[in-house]
Structure 1
């Protein structure tokens, strides 16, 4: 009876509950830590010495925006900005000191109103993760001033995944790249010297980046790139695309002509070195500038037999060059599964569809199954384009349409649906769905 009473008192005091928590298998503790926010992860160290040891060896260290904002609001809300930076930096340094195991997955978010990257401790943090064999790094800078990535970063020899936002890369002279890096995402990043991310790189995404001309060494014959995305980034070197035989996914989008000194290439030359290409994203601007003064082909000399998904952004059906390129892409992709088009109406001065010989164009049948068109306004050019696609797609099963937001007429969708049903088409089983 006395023993039972003692156990009851222990349970009431919470010690029995803590004993059960501390007796969990280490693997289960690690799974729990993976699912907790950083602030709560650190607090588990008070449970017991066992939890403190597991936390100290946990390979994931995410210092996200929620963690830092919570830290500031709870402890330093009354301080001025510089004092907040010093205090937050000190705590992050203390976390590294208490973390005895290797940091393999590191995320640091720099808040918009707290530029902690200006602290001298930033060098220590990057040196720490470089020495611990970090494999995944996410450095997300939301402040106004760009973050200069410390030089120790370039010694992260085990790095496999990298994400940088609003950063500046100053690679050391002769930097040959990372041995194991396979995925890179750059947003608002400036590259100031020649470099390569390494021959193992498979995925490269760049959005609103400058200095990308310094990546020429990345595009050598031995490169392993399968995914490339370049959006609104300056200085594309079109010679890169002579070494893209392994490319499976390509995304290109831009608002103005690249300032690269290399000569622009035609659409067929851009894609002819990508026999494995399965997914392609292009915007209307590229479909204009890639003409390079040459005659637009009705069909590429070599079919893109692996292309299954084609996404075209900001397409003007009043622009003859864009329309011809779109149709050339479709006709050159005999196994195309999904065509996704986002329309841009621009200046509707002429109807490019009227200038095409629809009878001859519809002779090429394609295996299209899903057609998606966004921002319709119900124009004649749109119906002409839909007429052509419907007549050329005997396998079409699904048509998804979305009206442009400025079209505020509830009867317009019904009118367009009725007119589409009257268009002669190769497939009578295609279902029309409005989004």
Structure 2
């Protein structure tokens, strides 16, 4: 498939990287020659210098042969014009990155069909949702929801006091028999493995577990954590992500305190967020943090637009005693380093955007794509089609590519942790954990 990605920033890079690895014909368009050189030196993609809103530039990028156009620059208006320029093309799916909250309000709601947009993605909104889920699961470093909320994948660091530390997975599974819980990956010392029953869990391991949502409290307990409710959250920054998260917290009766350095932005947010406390101050001011009681907060979330400020304010909040610290990192390469420097959890709007776009690129049976931050892997949700090669066959008879694992099957209201004899039926939702080298093959297998 030919895919044109307009925008060579972090979002564009992540999308191009994933798609080129799956052998798609990717063309990246941008006005910045330095960014294009950077991408072309690292990825197997073609590049075209120019504006994606120009018909001539899109022609040079091969718009006639393209099946998907992803406009993911930092400017909503450019993304809209880009899709509008290509609206006459048939058999072309047009995706636009739209971040401004004003486009989603009742008064200013955008009508995408007027601009030829088939799909709007909002990385900032997606990140706020992910952050809210992390707040609900307290200790989780990663979280993804599948099958309408029936199944979750969570990443957790095993504590010294964890009941599973020093035990093999087969032993743990026998003790937890009947509970829909499966460990799909273990990250230890920078290496990620898909475990077997003989794999031993150690304190300090970063484990990824797929479980029915109702079993998540038990997963937390097994890894050495207690589930606790969140009542007060401090947010550093006045970004779109901060606004969306404050809205979500308000809807769930959680008190939000925002620290916003820019005076005009602070005033604007204070008017829009009537039940939140907005302070016009610097989130790296130690005295202010202590005065506002950061040490007594259930969570501190750093959501400014600068990674350096986010890292510093998060470290200060953690040192002061905040129970949970979540840090936004725009530079994707920083994300795996977060825990090494003492941060609990990092989130990335770039990875959120890439995952949303990948779902539409793969289409077919794919219903959900979750890109895991701390390890190079994906969790993918598939609906089993009656004509799919996997339908009606026991898992043991299906030649799955190496590096993937069917972690759960959702059938109606039932969540099944499958064994080799289990059969995938038409209409089932299968949650598959896959390392990068297996993703393309497993998508083809389910799509037929």
After TM superposition, is the score higher than 0.5? no
Structure scoring higher RCO (CA < 8 A, sep ≥ 6) equals 2
* Rg comparison, structure with higher value: 1
Which structure dedicates a bigger proportion of its chain to strand? 2
So what's the TM-score if we normalise by structure 2? 0.24
